[in-house]
């Protein structure tokens, strides 16, 4: 039996269905040749994301660890909304560099206006995994290019699963069952001496970044893969080890992690949006010549307590 429907009711319900269930986009995931990363083609992040597209992006993120979305003309609200699909967002301790009206967005920039830095200019100066100094470090971060220099400004990523998979046996034995301390303040004074971007921290800010302890080798909570989880920037010592041995071991782990075969170097193009997995990778900002301007918007998604 066919039930006749008033055409205006039919078109209203079709419009409602379209608004609530976005159509899938023609996405293609193109893997890079090297150790890590893929480009996502055919996805416009300014449009609502269907459940199917979200599932494909989620899977690709777990498989490739860095996803590059080209030419995304998105607003801060849209970046926040897309980031939020993956979990709650974290607010960076340097509140000075939040985008006005959007505390979830950290401005990463070397631009100084009227004598004042507009963003954190030396973010990523040392290899690190974002917010590893928190009890719940970041799941992943999204960085959206706002203004790019004519040269420099690349971001490097190191695959910490590969770092673990290829770790020599004597280093595997040395880290078995070990934990390490992560501290936001570890290199703060050193960075403060040479840059205008590191304000003195208030007592509240210092209280927000108390040292934490995490396993040296973590298990990815979604894929079950193991990854080395120590970094040059935030890891200060291996717990229960004499200081000199701990420093020596950390230096060997850092050197191994960033071997060229573990790396992907992202050369930014206008309006790129890059989404990486902080549970699988470390990253480094390669640096921008002082006379050139670079401005990026970063959102950071909260992850799990590492195990
Ligand atoms: C960061 O460490 O989050 C910033 C990386 C970059 O600016 O390339």
- pLDDT for residue 241: 97
Domains identified in the chain, total number? 1
Statement: residue 127 has pLDDT above 90: yes
Model confidence band, residue 7 (pLDDT cutoffs 50, 70, 90): very low
How close is the Cα of 3 to the center of ligand 1, in Å? 58
Atom 6 of ligand 1: nearest residue by CA position = 285
- More confident site: 249 or 15: 249
The secondary structure of 269-293 as a DSSP string is: -TT-EEEEETTTEEEEE----TTS-
Q: Which of 1-5, 139-143, 182-186 has the lowest mean pLDDT?
A: 1-5
7 near 24, Cβ under 8 Å? Answer: no
Give the number of other CB atoms < 10 A from CB of residue 58.
13
pLDDT above 80 (res 15): no
Q: How confident is the model at residue 24 (pLDDT cuts 50, 70, 90)?
A: confident
- The DSSP bridge partners found for residue 141 are 276, 300
Would residue 179 count as lying in a domain?
A: yes
pTM check: above 0.75: yes
Measured from the CA of 108, which atom of ligand 1 is nearest?
7
Q: Residue 171's pLDDT is what?
A: 98
**Above 80 in pLDDT, residue 3?**
no
Answer yes or no: is 307 within a domain: no
Cα–Cα distances in Å, from 135 out to 212, 267, 271, 303?
A: 6, 32, 32, 9
| 78-92, 104-118, 196-210: segment of lowest average pLDDT | 196-210
Is the residue at 132 inside a domain? yes
Considering only CA atoms, which of 174, 126, 148 is closest in space to residue 273? 148
Annotated catalytic residue 130: yes
Ligand 1 centroid, distance to 121 Cα (angstroms): 9
Residue 180 forms beta bridges with which residues?
A: 214, 238
Ligand 1: residue whose CA is nearest its atom 2: 124
Q: Is 283 a catalytic residue?
A: yes
Write down the pLDDT at residue 19. 53
What rounded mean pLDDT belongs to the chain? Answer: 92
User: Are the CB atoms for 273 and 143 separated by under 8 Å?
Assistant: yes
Which pLDDT band, with edges at 50, 70 and 90, does 195 fall under? Answer: confident
Q: What is the mean pLDDT of residues 289-307?
A: 97
Q: Is the pLDDT of residue 96 over 50?
A: yes
Q: Is residue 197 part of a domain?
A: yes
Model confidence at 45, pLDDT cuts 50, 70, 90, reads very high
Burial class (CB in 10 A: 0-12, 13-18, 19+), 40: buried
CATH number of residue 234's parent domain = 3.60.130.10
Q: Range of 80's domain?
A: 23-302
Considering the domain boundaries, does residue 10 fall inside one?
no
Q: How far apart are CA 298 and CA 98, in angstroms?
A: 10
**Residue the block writes with tokens 């200019």:** 121
What is the Cβ-side half-sphere exposure of residue 201, based on CA atoms within 13 angstroms? 17
C-alpha–C-alpha distance, residues 201 and 94, integer Å: 8
pLDDT in tens, 262-272: 999 999 999 99
Residue 8 domain-assigned (yes or no)? no
Which helix (H) or strand (E) segment holds residue 236: the answer is strand 235-238
Q: Is position 99 within any domain?
A: yes
94 lines ligand 1 (CB under 6 A): no
Residues 209-261 pLDDT 10s: 999 999 999 999 999 999 999 999 999 999 999 999 999 999 999 999 999 99
For ligand 1, atom 1, name the residue with the nearest CA: 124
Nearest 10 degrees: Cα torsion 96, 149, 297, 122 = -40
Active-site option among 53, 122, 130, 272: 130
Asked if residue 106 is part of any domain, the answer here is yes
DSSP string, 74-102: --HHHHHHHHHTTSPBPPPS-GGGEETTE
pLDDT of amino acid 22: 87
């Amino acid at each position: 039996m066919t039930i006749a429907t008033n055409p205006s009711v039919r078109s209203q319900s079709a419009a409602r269905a379209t608004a609530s269930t976005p159509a899938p986009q023609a996405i293609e995931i193109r893997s890079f040749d090297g150790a890590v990363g893929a480009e996502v083609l055919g996805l416009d992040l300014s449009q609502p994301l269907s459940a199917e597209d979200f599932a494909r992006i989620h899977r690709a993120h777990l498989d490739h660890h860095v996803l590059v979305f080209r030419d995304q003309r998105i607003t801060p609200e849209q970046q926040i909304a897309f980031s939020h699909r993956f979990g709650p967002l974290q607010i960076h301790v340097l509140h000075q560099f939040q985008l006005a009206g959007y505390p979830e967005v950290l401005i990463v920039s070397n631009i100084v206006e009227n004598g004042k830095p507009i963003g954190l200019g030396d973010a990523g100066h040392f290899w690190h995994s974002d917010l590893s100094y928190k009890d719940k470090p970041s799941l992943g971060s999204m960085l959206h290019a706002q203004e790019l220099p004519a040269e420099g400004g690349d971001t490097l990523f190191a695959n910490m699963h590969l770092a673990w998979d290829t770790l020599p046996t004597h280093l595997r034995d040395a880290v078995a069952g070990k934990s390490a301390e992560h501290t936001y303040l570890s290199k703060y004074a050193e960075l403060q001496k040479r840059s205008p971007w590191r304000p003195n921290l208030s007592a509240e800010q210092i209280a927000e970044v108390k040292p934490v302890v995490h396993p040296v080798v973590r298990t990815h909570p979604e894929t079950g893969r193991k990854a080395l989880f120590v970094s040059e920037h935030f890891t200060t010592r291996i717990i229960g080890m004499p200081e000199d041995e701990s420093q020596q071991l950390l230096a060997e782990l850092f050197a191994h992690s960033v071997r060229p075969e573990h790396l992907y170097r992202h050369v930014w193009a206008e309006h790129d949006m890059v989404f990486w997995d902080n549970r699988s990778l470390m990253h480094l900002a390669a640096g921008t010549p002082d006379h050139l301007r670079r401005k990026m918007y970063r959102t950071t998604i909260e992850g799990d307590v590492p195990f």
